[in-house]
Chains A and B, each alone.
Chain A
Amino acid sequence: MPHDWVKSALRLMNAMAGKTKKVDRVPYFALINEQMLCRVAGVTVKEMLSSPEIYAKAVIGSYEFLEADTIQIPTSYAGPGEALAFAESNDKLDTIRWYDYKPLSIIQGAVCKTEEDIDKLEIPDHSKSSIWKVSTEAANIVNEKTKFPQMFGLGIWSVVQELRGVQAFKDMRKNPELLLKLCEKVYESQLDVFKFWTEKVGFSPMIMLTGYSFNKHMMSFDDAMKFEGQFIKRLQEKTKVPFIFHNCGTSPYFMEACKEIEFAAVNGSHPLDLDYWIKFKESYPNVTIMGANIDVSREMLTGTPQDVEEKVRDNIIALAPGGRYVCSPVCCLPWGVPLGNIMAIPRALEKYGQYPLKIQ
């Protein structure tokens, strides 16, 4: 039976609004990067990105194969693609790394090695960027074929770290003004790429925001607010779109961040303690939890389909009553995760996730 994307969109929308009477089951949000697309479509990254048609076909085929309720062009995220755009527009093409079956990346810190590099850093002209051209064209094909509105992705710190590398952390203490100057340029570029995307693809119903600085392993919460949080707030003011806050690190500041910044949803797999997520739901009843503790590098990678099914069931029991819960393994499904474990998620959702919920 063909995948009903309109039904998926309604399922997601109503679940996020807490309207469980209008939802048949818990939605499934799969994060798929280029690696999974290559695995399902049988093409290399370069082949895929060489043509919007091939790219769109790989995206639709993969998400349908995984029986997900969301569909997204992986490069519609201004993270690595944005770093690539910076490298292109600043004559640093030699810093770009292409892989056959993995997302492209740039050598961390190579674009903004010196203070002068930051001063002279040109904000990319996104209409001339190769990655954004193919991404917007592929997104339009996906939109046309599925009628599923495309989500867009932004992030400040992920790009800062790509451009400045380890020096960004040293700047935090030794030259915070310089670092803020770089953050400001990245912010301006993010806003520009969002406008470009909106112009080419249309309105994004939500923005997936990677807040990678919001993690204890990276920095203090105060530093996260200073070097990323304040820019997120400004992006929200300008874009007027609800944000999903993504952090796939092991010590994220979800609770703390939601006190300071308004998010429609949070997306992460840590802490692994389900009680944290139960408390989160009590503290922020209007914020949708997309994920909780299902982790792609733990039970998804090393467990059995039964382990995954049990994890999904436990998440549903704890978090799905009243809605505002979307099942999602975090982060992107990597190559080594067994197919049986991946497919255990939609199977478990069919089994336990039907509204009204039967399991307690």
Chain B
Amino acid sequence: MSEKDNLTNLINVIVDGDEIQASSIAKKALDSGLDYKAILNEGIIKACEEIGQLYEKEEYFLADMLISADALKAAMKVLKPAMEQASEKSPGKILIGTVEGDVHDIGKSLVTSLLQGQGYDVIDLGSEVPPETFAQKALEDNPDIIGLSGLLTVSISKMRETIALLKEKRIDSKIIIGGGVVSKAACVLIGADDCAKDGWEGVKKINRIISSKGGGVV
């Protein structure tokens, strides 16, 4: 099988959400001598773009995105050792969590999987994360971007509290708020740098911010 066929197959199985095949094809490609950078850029990243396009065309929905993201992660796991051996740097470090008082984590989980699948270093704090934990982890890990997620209308006030604390601690990471509850007006009001209405928009915005800083994958 040609190099191109291998990568096309990899894209297809990731888009189809086939975790086992994604892992297997990525391994075969690597074993055949294909450079991990080619597999990453011409396979995994392209698959991620295709998943996003299908979502935007409303051919894919959250369920499809989630299983494709799992396949993306499975392929990425295969590449990880080669990347580490080559001292490949992650395109960016992201600290993410659902704010205190909110247990909803589906959008956040999707963002985490899609970012990890593109090689980002993602620190997922889970759900119900108090402002102090965000601040403490941000000071320890110095992320490029902090993502605050929430679904409930009551989460906006906790996002505001979290951002106020991050600013008080002089943490200069970009802050993105995400979830059905957020709006551009709320984003400005509570002092976030940007907002995303859903997981895919969040991923696109993170990629854009990281690219503008000279890193990134797209």
A250 at the interface (CB under 8 A from B): yes
Residue of B nearest to A337 (CB): B153
| Set of chain A residues within 8 Å of B154, measured between Cβ atoms | 33, 35, 102, 332, 334-335
Given A174-B67, A298-B186, A302-B189: A107 and B103 within 8 A (CB)?
Answer: yes
Interface of B is mostly: loop
CB distance from B122 to the nearest CB of A (A): 16
B67 touches A170 (CB 8 A): yes
- Which partner residue on chain B sits nearest A298 by CB separation? B183
A residues contacting the other copy or chain, number (CB 8 A)? 40
Q: B64 at interface (Cβ–Cβ under 8 A)?
A: yes
B137-162 vs A, CB cutoff 8 Å, 1 = contact: the mask equals 00000000000000011101100100
* Interface status of A357 (Cβ within 8 A of chain B): no
| B63: contacting residue among A108, A169, A298, CB under 8 A | A169
Q: Is the interface of A mostly helix, strand, loop or mixed?
A: loop
B105 is an interface residue with CB less than 8 A from chain A? yes
Assess whether A115 is interfacial by the CB under 8 Å rule.
no
Which of the candidate stretches A1-9, A133-141, A213-221 sits at the interface with the other chain? A213-221
- Complex Cα distance, B101 from A158, in Å, reads 17
Interface flag for A301 (CB, 8 Å): yes
Instruction: Contact check, A219 vs B63: say whether CB atoms are below 8 A apart.
Output: yes
Q: How many positions in chain B have a CB within 8 Å of any CB in the partner chain? A: 33
Q: Do B180 and A170 have beta carbons less than 8 Å apart?
A: no
Decide if A99 is an interface residue (CB 8 Å cutoff). Answer: yes
In Å, the complex CA distance between A218 and B104 comes to 13
Contact, CB under 8 Å: A336 / B157: yes
B182 interfacial by beta-carbon distance below 8 Å: yes
B197 touching A296 by the CB < 8 A rule? Answer: no
B128 within 8 A of A: yes
A106 within 8 A of B: yes
Tell me if A54 is interfacial: C-beta within 8 Å of chain B: no
> Closest A-chain residue to B105, C-beta based?
A108
Instruction: Tell me whether A165 is interfacial, beta carbon within 8 Å.
Output: yes
A297-B157 CB under 8 A given contacts A97-B128, A108-B103, A173-B63:
no
Contact A166 B109 (CB under 8 A): yes
Inside 8 A of B156's CB, which chain A residues have their CB? 297, 301, 334, 336
Question: Chain A residues near B127 (CB, 8 Å)?
Answer: 107-108
Q: Which residues of B contact A336 (CB under 8 A)?
A: 156-157, 160
Query: What are the 4 closest A-B residue pairs judged by CB atoms, nearest first?
Result: A336-B157, A172-B63, A334-B153, A302-B185
Q: List 17 A–B pairs whose Cβ atoms lie within 8 Å, in order of A's numbering.
A: A107-B127, A169-B62, A170-B63, A170-B66, A174-B67, A217-B180, A219-B62, A220-B61, A250-B180, A295-B183, A296-B153, A297-B153, A297-B182, A298-B185, A298-B186, A302-B183, A334-B154
